[in-house]
Amino acid sequence: MNCEQHDSWISRVKDSFRCSFGEIVFGMSDGTVSIFGLVAGMLAGAQSGDVILLAGATAAIAATVSMMAGVFMDLESEKDAARVEAERRAAEIHSDPDGAVKKLMGDLQGSGLSQTSLDAIQVDLQTNPLTIQKFEDAVSAEEETPAEKAPPYVHACWMGIADFIAAMTPVIPFAFLPAEQAKYVCIAGTAVLLLLLGIGRARLGQRPLFRTVLETMAIATAAGIAGVIFALIIT
């Protein structure tokens, strides 16, 4: 592999990361909050470190696959809906070409085009009415963001990576440390991850940084408290 190919590959990865930033933030949020709540509940129930590791890792893997599948199917459904709408629009133009031409010309009246240009466009459209759909598709394509143009599997992959890393953060300490020590590392690691997640959410939504970080940590804390309360009730 030469340097040019290597740079091209890195550029594609960076582009896919930027296009999937929303899914990455969502995946981190889901993984952190759900698994931290599970781990907190199991700690309150006096479970051993091995049990917490097994349950947490299993839940993390299952949640990752579920989130990836959800994102992929959601985006695929959107593309299917767009395809069906395009087919419906083509049938509509085919059944009433004069009406479709008239409607589009009415929309173009206030576009600033000269009457000469409008007349020429109208002649072209009347000759081939299906050009209307190509024109509408071109306008829609211009309005699409890079994220919307990225394939569904790209979004799903980045969602899965982010979800799994975030979900395993509260779990990994129990693989190397005794449960008593691991729980403190779990809380500290989760807090750092939540801080980064809050910063990512603030950047993505252009929101106030402090408020967004505080909100993100509060949600995870609420999940942990809910897990503890449930564990105390059933034990």
Give 169-201 pLDDT, tens digit per residue.
889 999 998 888 888 898 898 888 888 888 888
Which tens digits make up the pLDDT trace of 75-130? 888 888 888 887 887 787 778 777 777 777 777 776 666 778 777 777 777 777 77
Angstrom distance (rounded) from CA 67 to CA 189: 22
User: What is the 3 state secondary structure string of the chain?
Assistant: CCHHHHHHHHHHHHHHHHHCHHHHHHHHHHHHHHHHHHHHHHHHCCCCHHHHHHHHHHHHHHHHHHHHHHHHHHHHHHHHHHHHHHHHHHHHHHHCHHHHHHHHHHHHHHHCCCHHHHHHHHHHHHHCCCHHHHHHHHHHHHHCCHHHHCCHHHHHHHHHHHHHHHHHCCCCHHHHCCHHHHHHHHHHHHHHHHHHHHHHHHHHHCCCHHHHHHHHHHHHHHHHHHHHHHHHHHC
Averaged pLDDT, 53-67: 89
Highest mean pLDDT among 54-68, 88-102, 106-120, 216-230: 54-68
pTM of the model: 0.73
In the chain, where the domains are located: 20-234
At residue 220, does pLDDT exceed 60? Answer: yes
